Amino acid sequence: MVAGWFAGEGDNFRLLGTRCSACASVFFPREDGFCRNPGCSGGDLDEVPLSRRGRVWSYTDSRYRPPAPYVSDQELPWQPYALIAVELAAERMVVLGQSVPGVTVADLEIGMEVEVVPGVLDEGAGADEDSGTTWTTWHWRPVGVDA
């Protein structure tokens, strides 16, 4: 989990971004320093929840374990997943994320409406200091599909 990138549960789950008070540009992930809009003279950055729903802008299949420095348990078989780029119209941005487990590229279409939901990135197992730890993230789920 990356602190401050999302909050809430159920229907209140949201990705968190920041909005510049001077130019109204929205950023995700959050920006705590300065407005990244090169045409802006700068303003205060306020935390804002992003839209829960968006439309599939693009997608792909992640069938292979990424190379180092990506960290994954080499003892476990790789679990493929769909990676979805979602356009949030109100924020005028595209946010990348995994699909919910069980949704594959065969289930997706460009323009399809999806919603952000809480998800599990990994669960620590074994005898090390991460044992029992659950790392959370966000997933995109097609509207009308139960997670």
Same domain, 14 and 32: yes
Same domain, 71 and 18: no
- Indicate the pTM of the whole model: 0.84
* Whether residue 143 has pLDDT greater than 50: yes
pLDDT tier for residue 64 given thresholds of 50, 70 and 90: confident
Same domain, 20 and 36: yes
* Whether residue 67 has pLDDT greater than 50: yes
Domain that holds residue 77: 51-147
Same domain, 56 and 125: yes
Q: Which residue pairs, CB below 8 angstroms and at least 24 apart, start in 76-85?
A: 80/104, 82/107, 82/108, 83/59, 84/56, 84/58, 84/59, 84/108, 84/114, 84/140, 85/56, 85/57, 85/58, 85/59
Per-residue pLDDT tens over the stretch 85-120: 999 999 999 999 999 999 999 999 999 999 999 988
pLDDT value of residue 122 = 66
